[in-house]
Amino acid sequence: MSPMSLTAATSSDEEDDSDSSTKPIRSEKKKNPASLFQTGGDPPKEKKSKKKAGEALGSPSPLTLQQKEERPPSPVIEVENLEEFVLQPAPQGVTVKCRVTRDKKGMDRGLYPTYYLHLDNDKKVFLLAGRKRKKSKTSNYLISIDPTDLSRGGENFIGKLRSNLMGTRFTVFDNGANPDRANADWSNVRQELSAVVYETNVLGFKGPRKMTVIIPGMNADCERVPIRPRNDNDGLLMRWQNRNMDNVIELHNKAPVWNDETQSYVLNFHGRVTHASVKNFQIVHSSDPDYIVMQFGRVADDAFTMDYNYPLCAVQAFAIALSSFDGKLACE
């Protein structure tokens, strides 16, 4: 098999490989995506929403880089309270379309670039900024709601992404207090918002990355269940490792398909990605791989699209994207 490890931008997935005229007509009822992520209580009521062309739901015809496609505008999203918006799950039935830009200008920006997240619409509303901390033993990214203030002690600090020594496991925290300094007030202790695990290629095989994303489950009101570990042995990673999945959801990147014609691994990004890259990925639930929880991919040298759906919030999705930039031992 070819050693290429690029995930192609606009190409078919497994269902798109054959002529659509030979496919059987499916009549089964479409699943309610919200039920995939609920971890207790009554199932949420299914909300009827019209599916727009180009959204991440469904499996439209395969696209090629040469084809032009009219893209529908992103949904109108009002951001009145930025801190509240970036921590709230995406509205059900709406794909929040964003753009990540990487700034490598200035002193040591090549090693410590700043990443900016904006809504990908006419207004280009700023949402988040992130940058790796210097003099840290492991990769440690600060996430802020102010593009000019990326300090740990600033009031705009909204969360952080921290890796293990190998750079293969990441944990995403909000801006709550460290449990060691909680002073018995547990309501202010930081929450773990998600974790990302990259599978290592021990034999050096050059293939597509394999990602596992662990997130807190959602309650009957479609709100995120707070996960406030008292120590590292009670966090999302340890719960997942010990298969203690109460109030925890496991997601994976959608496996790309080998394309003999292009001699590369391909995925259908529905027109939202235009450059092949090992960093391109889609996150799905194993029970419904057609529902794209999040997708991320390159559109220019330092520009990427990042789209996310319920139950993710902007901080979770941005942190997962930041983890893909970090160098990983035996993962390339």
User: Model pTM?
Assistant: 0.79
47 found inside a domain = no
Q: What is the CATH number of the domain that holds 157?
A: 3.20.90.10
> What does the pLDDT look like over 137-157, one tens digit per residue?
788 899 999 998 887 777 899
Residue 186 structural domain: 7-13+81-325
Q: pLDDT at residue 327 above 80? A: no
Q: Residue 282: which of 59, 47, 121 has the closest Cα?
A: 59
Is residue 169 one of the residues assigned to a domain? yes
Percent of the chain whose predicted confidence (pLDDT) is above 90: 47
Q: What are the phi and psi torsion angles at 305 (to 5°)?
A: -95, 145
CA torsion 29→34→37→42, rounded to 10°? -90
Residue 40 lies in a domain: no
pLDDT tens readout for residues 210-267: 999 999 999 999 999 999 998 878 899 999 999 999 999 999 999 888 888 888 888 9
CB 120 within 8 A of CB 127: no
What pLDDT digit, counting tens, does each position of 64-74 carry? 233 334 445 55
The number of distinct structural domains making up the chain is 1
Residue 42 belongs to a domain: no
Whether the Cβ atoms of residue 182 and residue 167 lie closer than 8 Å to each other: no
Q: Does pLDDT of 120 surpass 70?
A: yes
- Tell me, yes or no, whether 274 lies in a domain: yes
Give the number of other CB atoms < 10 A from CB of residue 118: 17
Report angle CA 287, 218, 118 to the nearest 5 degrees.
90
**Does residue 186 sit within a domain?**
yes
Residue 303: the pLDDT is 95
**Cα R_g (the chain), whole angstroms:** 20
Residue 307 lies in a domain: yes
204: in domain: yes
